[in-house]
Structure 1
Amino acid sequence: MDLFSRSWTALRTAVAALPDEDFARPSGCTGWLVRDLVCHLIIDAQDVLITLVTPVETEPTRDAVTYWDLVEAPTGDDPLDALTVRLAAAYEEPRLLKFHLDDVGSAAGRAAGLADPTVRVGTRDEVLTVGDYLSAYVLEWTLHHLDLIAHLQDAAEPPAEGLARSRGLLERIASTAFPSSLSDKDALLIGTGRRTPTDAERAELGELTAKLPLVLG
């Protein structure tokens, strides 16, 4: 839960530090500008708040690894993705996006810090413990932090411990380890299809290449 807080705080801090012109730059998410990604983060923060106040009594059906489904690579044509783009444009000014993310995001962070990790909660018609749910979101925050800075020169990177934990989760999702020669950041970027491996990296990946990219949904 501490790592959830550190990863989320680092991501919100990176957004808050962006100059206005960076909001119109591409992000690492297909079809989204940085402003669209930030709007998505606001929706994510709302989902965290909703989930943490949706306790259930039934047994968990997912954990931090099985929370994720493997889906088709996004094309930018999904209706919900398109809605996010329209919502982001409606903000008009980056400062409004920053304000809303800080407002809702801070509340989500406080709620996570107060939550009992053993409580079971419902989300997406599944049941997880709070601890597993927040652990899954470390991967979400870390990948989106990488998306945020994909085309930005001087933006701060995700915390090293978040990168390491996220790599571990992705390896468990893949049921195999990535080569030790790959940094945690490169393992995540290549593993999720955010970067094409070089010929040398492809050789290192070996049979794992056939499983890639791991597109999480």
Structure 2
Amino acid sequence: MDLFSRSWTALRAAVADTADEDFELPSGCAGWLVRDLVCHLVIGAQDVLITLVTPADTEPTVDAVTYWQLAEPPTGEDPPDALVPRLAAAYGEPRRLKFHFDDVGSAAGRAAVLAGPAARVSTRDEVLTVGDYLSAYVLEWSLHHLDLIAHLPSAAQPPTETLAAARALLEKRAGTAFPASFTDADALRVGTGRRTPTAAETAALGDFATRLPLVLG
């Protein structure tokens, strides 16, 4: 849960520090601008709030690793994916989007700190503990932090410890470790298809390369 707070706090700070003009730059999410990504983060914060107040009294069906399902690469044509750019554009000025994200994001962060890690919650027709749910989101926030700064070389990087935790979770989901030569950020970007591996990286990946990208949903 501490890693959730660190990753979320760092991501919120990175959004706050993003200049208004940079909201029109591409993000690391294919087809989305930075403003679209931030709008998606608003929705993600709302999901966290909803899940943390949706208790369950049955046994967990997933944990932090199995919460993430392997899916087909997004095309941008699915209704939820296509809706995000329209919502983002409706905010008009970046300051409005920043304000809404900070408002909802702060609430999600406080709710996570107050939640009992052993409590069970329900989301996406699954049941898991709060601790596992928040651990799963360390991967989500770390990936989206990398997406946010994909074309912002001077922006702050995600915390080292949360990148390492996100990589470890992705490796557990894949059932295979990335080569030690990969940095945590490169493992996350290459592993999820955000960057094409170089020839040297493909050689180091071996047979694992044929299973990439790992699209999580």
**Alignment TM-score > 0.5, same fold:** yes
Q: SS where residue 132 of structure 2 aligns?
A: helix
- Quote the Cα distance in structure 1 between the aligned partners of 2:151 and 2:171: 26
- Which residue number corresponds to residue 146 of structure 1? 146
Amino acid at match of 2:38: V
- Which residue number corresponds to residue 54 of structure 1? 54
Q: SS where residue 48 of structure 1 aligns?
A: helix
- Quote the Cα distance in structure 1 between the aligned partners of 2:69 and 2:151: 27
- Which residue number corresponds to residue 214 of structure 1? 214
Q: SS where residue 158 of structure 2 aligns?
A: coil
Q: SS where residue 201 of structure 1 aligns?
A: helix
Q: SS where residue 122 of structure 1 aligns?
A: strand
- Which residue number corresponds to residue 196 of structure 2? 196
Residues 126-153 of structure 1 show CA distances to partners (whole Å, capped at 9, x for unaligned) of: 0000000000000000000000011112
- Which residue number corresponds to residue 175 of structure 1? 175
- Quote the Cα distance in structure 2 between the aligned partners of 1:215 and 1:36: 19
- Quote the Cα distance in structure 2 between the aligned partners of 1:118 and 1:153: 39
- Quote the Cα distance in structure 1 between the aligned partners of 2:53 and 2:182: 39
Structure-to-structure mapping, 1:61-210, within 5 angstroms: 61-210=61-210
- Quote the Cα distance in structure 2 between the aligned partners of 1:153 and 1:177: 27
Q: SS where residue 128 of structure 1 aligns?
A: strand
- Quote the Cα distance in structure 1 between the aligned partners of 2:75 and 2:8: 26
Residues 69-94 of structure 1 show CA distances to partners (whole Å, capped at 9, x for unaligned) of: 11111121111111111110000000
Shift of 1:166: 0.5
Provide TM-score, normalisation by structure 1: 0.99
Query: Structure 1: which 4+ aligned runs deviate by more than 4 Å?
Result: none
- List alignment gaps of at least 5 residues for structure 2: none
Indicate the RMSD between aligned Cα atoms, in angstroms: 0.6
Identical columns (%): 76
- Quote the Cα distance in structure 1 between the aligned partners of 2:106 and 2:3: 15
Aligned residues: 217
Provide TM-score, normalisation by structure 2: 0.99
